[in-house]
Amino acid sequence: MVDYPEPPARGRLSRRRFVEGVAAGAAVSLLHPGLGHALPAQAASPRVPRQVLQGTRFDLDLQYAAVNITGKPRTAMLINGSLPGPILHWREGDVLTLRVTNRLAVPTSLHWHGVIVPNGMDGVPGVTYAGIFPGETFIYRFPVRQSGTFWYHSHTHFQEQNCITGALVIHPREPDPVQADQDYVVQLNDWSDEDPHDIYYHLKASGDYYNYQQRTFGDFLHEVSTRGWRATLADRLAWGRMRMDPRDLSDVTGAMLGGTYTYLINGQPPAANWTALFKPGERVRLRFINSSAMTYFDVRIPGLPMTVVAADGSNVEPVTVDEFRIAVAETYDVIVTPTQAAYTIFAQAMDRSGYARATLATHSGLAAAIPPMDPVFTRTMLDMGMRMNMPGMSMPGMGARSPALNHTAMPMPAKAAMNMPDMPGMHMPGMPTPAKSAKPGMPDMPGMSGAMATARRSAPANASGQVAYPQPQDVHLRLGPSVVNIAEHPTERLDMPGDGLNGNGRRVLTYAHLIRRASGPQNGPFVTREADAEVLLHLTGNMQRFIFGFNGLSYDQSQPVRFPYGQRIRVSLINDTMMEHPIHLHGLFTELDNHRGRLRPLKHTINVKPGEIVHYFVNATELGRWAYHCHLLYHMDAGMFTTAVIA
């Protein structure tokens, strides 16, 4: 068994240490316990290329390695000695053989994120196979049925945090409509010197353990001066009674503010300055992959517009932006045409606790200015799904809807069953108190099996020909130890980039911008028919106790979501928590309902903002039992994980 070093004492790291990282880059040397020989050391620095593999047969070894990211030697779990793992190039239509050997002292696994594979090849221990035990080799064999930018990672406990991740570039069988002179993977990770088990322990002991940005008395006085006493007190009391902090933006934060994460691009801390080379005027394709455990990033290249051409591996109509937010597990492909000598690729953590940084340059050694980080933002009652016109609950900073987008209005749903008295001190002036659920104890959910839904047939079309889908009031949840808030008025905000980006003066990508490309290679068929059935799931949690789940229940309490084979299912997700949740359904194409008809974009990960309702379609065409979960690593382990059964 590997003896992991003791985690560092909790304390504030200096900005200089955070930015410097390791002066020579992130050093990596391989340590194979029990093999009897040492493999050559490999320095993960800009001068040593990351391993790139291509073809139809691959050998991947999962092994321990000594790494040094922040100046302290630590042990990581790597693939072929690469941090992150090798970039694998596949081709659509090929049949692959991947031999994965576990040289660790513990079981492991590899999951091909967003890739449609036979159920037994999906790589989720306890769901699709037993996993890969120490000393064993598992052989994955499957045909490649799609193209685009994807990634792979361990699906065993907290091993993603230990850097068992890698990039997938799948080349289309047909000519790619997106042409570029240079093509680079830009993979984002959050690295910690702490053992991930210790991180999880800290979060379970205190949900705000890593929150160094809580509101101060100075913030209180500023709010009083701008909003008045009544509004400020109402807001503070509301958050206090919910036992939540509107500055608790990310459960695990960056070392710049005293947290634990150092943010990496292609395995390099900011000072290592990973560099992508180009010639002026060339079209450069950057494949952004967020393979972090817990961190959302806001990405921009100051002075250089980015044209988004693909989302989660699926081609979209080009849209030019200055910035985009990339949720954990999402991928975005962008095209840039640089003309200056150097540009900074700047990826700041959503909670503004640090950043990852790289450079686009005409030759090695150049660097551009690093922009200052944006100010930290504060959640509002909108993020809790409350009325925007509540007394004292003004919503500053909300961006206007873009007139350039063709929006379809969504009617405001009637209030969900929210039993405010069940939560001590939760009642707010001016907020209605709906009747209690008919069932005591567990939630009363029509059409639900345990905490999970069995797909129900949709209501018939009304006189105008529109299908009458269920609204949030169809599910009645009760507050309790695992559910401390239920969004009274969840809203669809696909045309808003999210807190901290709304109205910042830059062109920021939103889900409403994404239009599936109507020509060229696509992932999955175009479908025009309406849904046969629907599923409604609430994303619930208790921040203080660090408990998360679907419809108030964790994995060990729930029953699977059941999708009848061959049916088209409309899924509605309602986020009742104050955290963003990237929801990933294995084995199926996910068709985001952003009102684009047959041109709805395909995504493998759907981000749901706090207090938001999001809809998408899935076609139940892949038999088997599939993992269905939040892709925030510690949320998944804290209960927001279930399975979907197609039979």
Q: How far apart are CA 467 and CA 530, in angstroms?
A: 8
636 pLDDT band, cuts 50/70/90, is very high
Let me know if 403 is exposed, middle or buried by CB neighbors in 10 A (0-12, 13-18, 19+): exposed
More confident residue, 227 or 274: 274
115 pLDDT band, cuts 50/70/90, is very high
pLDDT for 513 equals: 98
pLDDT for 365 equals: 93
Indicate the average pLDDT of the chain.
Answer: 80
Q: Does 282 have pLDDT greater than 60?
A: yes
Beta strands in 109-159 (DSSP E): 111-113, 137-143, 148-153
Q: Does 517 have pLDDT greater than 70?
A: yes
Express each pLDDT in 337-391 by its tens digit. 999 999 999 999 999 999 999 999 999 999 999 999 999 877 776 666 665 444 4
Query: In whole angstroms, what separates CA 451 from the centre of its chain?
Result: 23
More confident residue, 257 or 60: 60
**Element (H or E) spanning 367, and its range?**
none
Express each pLDDT in 529-554 by its tens digit. 889 999 999 999 998 899 999 999 99
pLDDT for 226 equals: 76
Determine if the peptide bond prior to 84 is cis (ω within 30°).
Answer: yes
Using an 8 Å Cβ cutoff, are 169 and 114 in contact? Answer: no
236 pLDDT band, cuts 50/70/90, is low
More confident residue, 108 or 227: 108
pLDDT for 234 equals: 67
More confident residue, 53 or 258: 53
Residue owning tokens 């450069």: 284
Q: Does 469 have pLDDT greater than 60?
A: no
Average pLDDT over residues 440-468: 45
| pTM of structure | 0.82
Express each pLDDT in 407-453 by its tens digit. 222 322 333 333 222 332 222 223 333 333 333 233 333 333 333 45
* Secondary structure of residue 135 in the 3-state scheme: coil
Share of the chain above pLDDT 70, in %: 73
CA proximity to 335, closest of 356, 306, 293, 312: 306
237 pLDDT band, cuts 50/70/90, is low
Let me know if 528 is exposed, middle or buried by CB neighbors in 10 A (0-12, 13-18, 19+): exposed
From its phi and psi, is residue 12 left (phi > 0), alpha (psi between -120 and 50) or beta?
beta
Question: CA-based angle 467:402:345, to the nearest 5?
Answer: 115
542 contact partners, CB below 8 Å, separation of at least 6: 481, 482, 483, 484, 548
Residue owning tokens 């684009």: 596
Q: How far apart are CA 441 and CA 462, in angstroms?
A: 36
Looking at 86-90, 130-134, 301-305, 374-378, which range is the least confident one? Answer: 374-378
Using an 8 Å Cβ cutoff, are 570 and 545 in contact? Answer: no
518 pLDDT band, cuts 50/70/90, is confident
